[in-house]
A and B are shown apart, each in its own frame.
Chain A
Amino acid sequence: MQHCAPEQLALAALAEQLPAGDAAHLASCPQCQAEVASLRRPVDVLAVPPLSGGGTEVAPPPRVWDAIAAATGVSAAPRAEALTGDPAEPAGAVVVPLQPRRPATRWLTVAAAVLVGGVLGGGAVALTRDDDGSVVATTALDPLAAENASGRAEVREVDGVRSLQIDLDAPELTDGYYEVWLLQPDAVRMVPVGVVRAGDTVLPLPSGLDLGEYPLVDVSVEPMDGDPTHSGISVARGELST
């Protein structure tokens, strides 16, 4: 087959799925793989979640406006509710930690994933059974950009009751705690599962929860502020394969 079109290689560098013929060629062509790797460099440099304009809005504290007014000499002022993060505003109420759906780590593995075929994804699918019941789904938890938390998550089922087992490797927090959530792929809806610590934690899952609908395991850092919603600060994430 001919080499892939340059445009297709650029899409591969952005981790887009290629048509089957292009994907097959790419898997076997070192020249096209090298081109994808070189085009992926700017992607790796720039496509990090903190630089994304989408995502959870966070109302700044009032002193931020005070500083802006002082620096610019502007005498107009925003309405008071804008300065306090009025909870009626969608900005404060939406419970959406919108990290991009492709974690940064995946950019690194496009060509590799093509090369090794199903091994990366497929290896996690193994159904096993041992004393703790059967493993019905599992995933690695990869750190989100600039974070150093990682781990594994497994859903186990014993006598029809499912639980989520988390093995978390993450730094100790002094002024907050880790919480684990199950998210829909668009991260618009989510279910809190419970508090986790570094090490092993087992949490019961609500019966009837459809893991196909909520396949993303998300670990967030939550401040001790009494707010039960997601902080928007996710540190590790993985997608369950069943």
Chain B
Amino acid sequence: MSAVTTDPDDAEVARRFAAGDEQALALAYERWAGQVHGMAVRAFGPGPDAEDVTQQTFVSAWTGRAGYSAAAGPLPAWLVGICRHKIADNWAKLERQRRSAEAVAADARSAAAPTGGDGLAGAVADRVLLLGELNRIGQPQRRIIELAFFEDLTHAQIAARTGIPLGTVKSHIRRTLERLRDRLEVDGAALRS
């Protein structure tokens, strides 16, 4: 039943996706839903939360397809980036629900003691904040720091993978870490206070 023509390559799928070809959404799902859902399952375990994240990722990618640019990286990397945000957003939502449930319980007990949950809530808020900041970092700096953070590559491996000189990789890592740290110090602290 498969067509005689060969399947389009990834770049062609990406081009047609950005152009609004519905078949390209189906092809992107065939190729990358497993990767996206794998991330969601690692974040939430198998079940409705993970399925929601996978669904939200593809729906957001489709509705926001005008924001995709092939120059900023391959389509699967873009999908993975969206999935990261959806995971962080859903963590934040679950954390808010947990805290309001605790607040209700605390009111019922008329207990004033803090629950010690602030550290976790702070970590979630910081993650959302830094993922947003990552989105504002241009290429190739963003690709470099993502390889370091999320693929756990050393600077030498990143240089080998990207073809960017070792010294450039190191200075990009330094500047990006400084930028993210400064963002945390300015806004991360404000969010928690």
Contacts and interface: CB of A to CB of B under 8 A. Distances in A.
A45 B37 CA distance: 22
A11 B173 contact: yes
Interface in A16-61: 16, 38-39, 41-43, 45-61
A217 B147 CA distance: 25
A92 B130 CA distance: 32
Interface string B135-170: 000000000000011111011000000000000001
A42 B37 contact: no
B59 interface: yes
Dominant secondary structure of chain B at its interface with chain A: helix
A127 interface: no
Interface in B86-130: 87-88, 123, 126-127, 130
Contact of B87 (A50, A57, A77): A50
B59 A68 contact: yes
B171 interface: yes
A68 B55 contact: yes
Given A11-B155, A41-B181, A53 B55 contact: no
A16 B155 contact: yes
Interface residues of B, number: 56
Contacts of A207: none
B29 A68 contact: yes
A39 B182 CA distance: 9
Contact of B33 (A7, A16, A60): A60
Contact of B173 (A14, A45, A74): A14
B63 to A, nearest CB: 7
B173 A10 contact: yes
Interface stretch (A78-86, A113-121, A195-203): A78-86
Contact of A45 (B34, B35, B39, B126): B126
Nearest to B81: A53
Contacts of B154: 16
B151 A64 contact: no
Interface in B24-74: 25-27, 29-30, 33-35, 37-39, 41-43, 45-46, 51, 54-55, 58-59, 62-63
B77 A58 contact: no
A179 B37 CA distance: 22
Interface in A198-242: 223, 232-233
Contact of A100 (B39, B54, B152): B152
A75 B21 CA distance: 11
A239 B152 CA distance: 17
Contact of B151 (A52, A59, A65, A68): A52
Contact of B148 (A14, A45, A55): A14
Contacts of B2: 79
Contacts of A11: 155, 170, 173
A42 B25 CA distance: 34
Given A50-B87, A53-B77, A79-B30, A64 B55 contact: yes
Nearest to B83: A53
Contacts of A88: none
A53 B149 contact: no
A82 B151 contact: no
24 contacts: A7-B174, A42-B130, A42-B177, A45-B184, A46-B131, A47-B149, A47-B150, A51-B150, A52-B150, A53-B35, A53-B150, A57-B35, A57-B38, A58-B34, A60-B34, A64-B54, A68-B25, A68-B29, A68-B58, A74-B22, A85-B34, A92-B34, A101-B152, A232-B38
Task: Give the top 8 A-B pairs by smallest Cβ distance, nearest first.
Answer: A57-B34, A53-B80, A42-B180, A50-B43, A100-B152, A82-B30, A10-B174, A91-B34
Given A51-B127, A91-B34, 9 more contacts: A10-B173, A14-B148, A42-B180, A42-B184, A52-B39, A60-B33, A68-B58, A72-B62, A91-B35
